[in-house]
Amino acid sequence: MLTQVAEGVLVHRSELLRNNTVVVRGQDGVLVVDAGITGSEMACLANDLNELGLPVVAGFSTHPDWDHVLWHAELGEAPRYGTARCAADMQALRSAADWRARVAEGLPPEIADDVPLDLFGLVTGLPAGTERIPWDGPAVRIIEHPAHSPGHAALLVETRGVLAAGDLLSDVFVPMLGDFTDTSDPVEEYLAGLRTLEDVASDVEVLVPGHGSAVAGTGRVRARIDLDRAYLHALRDGRTPDDPRIGGSAEPGWEWVSDIHEGQARSVARRNGRGPATGSAGTGGRRAPVAP
> According to the model, what pLDDT value does residue 262 have?
95
- Relative to beta strand 124-126, strand 140-144 is unpaired
DSSP string over 107-160: S-TTTGGG---TTTT--EEEPTT--B--SSSS-EEEEE--SSSTT-EEEEETTT
Cα dihedral across residues 183, 275, 288, 2: positive or negative: negative
22-71 per-position pLDDT tens digit: 999 999 999 999 999 999 999 999 999 999 999 999 999 999 999 999 99
Q: Are 99 and 89 in contact, with CB atoms under 8 Å apart?
A: no
For the chain, the C-alpha Rg in angstroms (whole number) is 18
CA separation for the pair 74, 63 (Å, rounded) = 22
Q: Which residues are within 8 A (CB) of 54 and not within 5 positions of it... i.e. 6 or more apart?
A: 23, 25, 29, 30
Cα dihedral across residues 116, 109, 1, 133: positive or negative: negative
> According to the model, what pLDDT value does residue 214 have?
97
286 CB burial (10 A radius; 0-12, 13-18, 19+): middle
All structural domains of the chain:
2-271 (3.60.15.10)
Q: Which residues are within 8 A (CB) of 227 and not within 5 positions of it... i.e. 6 or more apart?
A: 243
Phi, psi of 68 (to 5 degrees): -120, 5
175-234 per-position pLDDT tens digit: 999 888 777 899 999 999 999 999 999 999 999 999 999 999 999 999 999 999 999 999
Give which of 194, 270, 200 is closest to 235, Cα–Cα: 270
Question: Which has more confidence, 254 or 99?
Answer: 99
- Does the pTM surpass 0.85? The reply is yes
CA separation for the pair 69, 82 (Å, rounded) = 9
DSSP conformational letter for 177: P
Q: What is the mean pLDDT of the chain?
A: 92
Which of the four pLDDT bands, split at 50, 70 and 90, describes residue 248?
Answer: low
Residue 286 confidence (pLDDT) above 50: no
Q: What is the 3-state secondary structure (H, E, C) of 26-56?
A: CCCCEEEECCCCCHHHHHHHHHHHHHCCCCE
Q: Three-class SS of residue 81?
A: strand
